[in-house]
Amino acid sequence: MAAASASPDEVDEPGMEIEAQKLQLNCGDSGESNSAAAGKVLEMDQLQEDSAISQASVSNGGDSETEKDLVELKIIWNKNKYDVKFPLDSTGADLKEKIHSLTGLPPTMQKVMFKGLLPEEKTLREIKVTNGAKIMVVGSTINDVLAVNTPKEAAQQEVKSEENKKEPLCRQKQHRKVLDKGKPEDVMPSVKGVQERLPTVPLSGMYNKTGGKVRLTFKLEQDQLWIGTKERTEKIPMGSIKNVVSEPIEGHEDYHMMAFQLGPTEASYYWVYWVPTQYVDAIKDTVLGKWQYF
């Protein structure tokens, strides 16, 4: 009896089972691989995000520290105003370089003032510069300075030549009559052998050539010297003062007699007596500027 024939659906072709198993394995491997790749992408995204947050945090911290060390200044020169943020631990010389970049004035041609002439070697922190401080700058172009210097230098050489021929100023009759009065009762204390910056108050307790009391006020923000007496106060632009001469008083070398040349000749000298020696150089620097070699 012939065997019953198998149904077509029940017949398996050779190798089909093996191929199905391979396909199942491959599909499983592919799923795991895709899952792992997706996990790595997520992990890298998380690392990048963390890094960005960390960098932002460091950057913000640095900016905060930098802001803490900066001071806001108002630099005023020739009716121009500049708002500047500048490091507190920078020196006066560094500030002059900054002013040079703003105004074009070479540092050697600048007269920078903050409570007197700004010391170049000290930091802004050391001289107690605070936010909103006004920094006054006086200066001219090189050509202007050269035009002014030539007659000043000639006048100075002439004065020195004449002084070498003459007896000491304090022995001359016109000065002797004032000096013979002695020190004013309210004369300011002197410190011999020391150079100091100008005080924040007027220099007082001095005589003029008539023997009257006189005081000197240095209006740095206006670049003016105020010479005050009982009768009046003369307001003199510092740029108009041609020269400043001084000489120690014999027997009182810790005080000087000093003259401001207000015109072209010696006849225009305004004499002041009993100037404390520690302020002599500061007065000359303030009136004439440090670039003058007198």
Quote the CA–CA distance of 8 and 19 in Å, as a whole number: 19
pLDDT tens-digit readout, 7-31: 444 444 455 554 545 445 444 444 4
Quote the CA–CA distance of 199 and 290 in Å, as a whole number: 18
- State the average pLDDT for the chain: 78
Residue 152 vs residues 110, 173, 286: alpha-carbon distances, Å: 18, 27, 16
Going by the DSSP 8-state scheme, the letter that residue 198 receives in this structure is P
Stretch 244-271: mean pLDDT: 93
> Tokens 């003058």 correspond to what residue?
292
> What three-state secondary structure class fits 115?
coil
The predicted pLDDT at position 199 comes to: 87
Quote the CA–CA distance of 269 and 59 in Å, as a whole number: 61
- From 220, 209, 210, 192, select the one nearest 276 (Cα to Cα): 192
Do residues 216 and 206 touch, judged by C-beta distance below 8 A?
yes
pTM for the model stands at 0.49
Judged on CB neighbours under 10 Å (0-12, 13-18, 19+), 81 is exposed
Per-residue pLDDT at 182 exceeds 70: yes
Per-residue pLDDT at 187 exceeds 60: yes
Residue 145 one-letter amino acid: V
Q: At 129, phi and psi to the nearest 5?
A: -75, 130
pLDDT tens-digit readout, 119-154: 989 999 999 999 999 999 988 756 555 665 555 555
For the chain, give me the number of helices (H) and strands (E)?
Answer: 5, 11
Do residues 92 and 118 touch, judged by C-beta distance below 8 A?
yes
Strand order in the sheet with 233-237: 233-237, 224-228, 213-219, 203-208, 269-276, 252-261, 243-249
Quote the CA–CA distance of 165 and 162 in Å, as a whole number: 5
Stretch 27-39: mean pLDDT: 50
Stretch 67-93: mean pLDDT: 88
Going by the DSSP 8-state scheme, the letter that residue 139 receives in this structure is -
pLDDT above 70 coverage of the chain, percent:
66
Weakest mean pLDDT among 13-22, 119-128, 186-195, 239-248: 13-22
Do residues 244 and 261 touch, judged by C-beta distance below 8 A?
yes
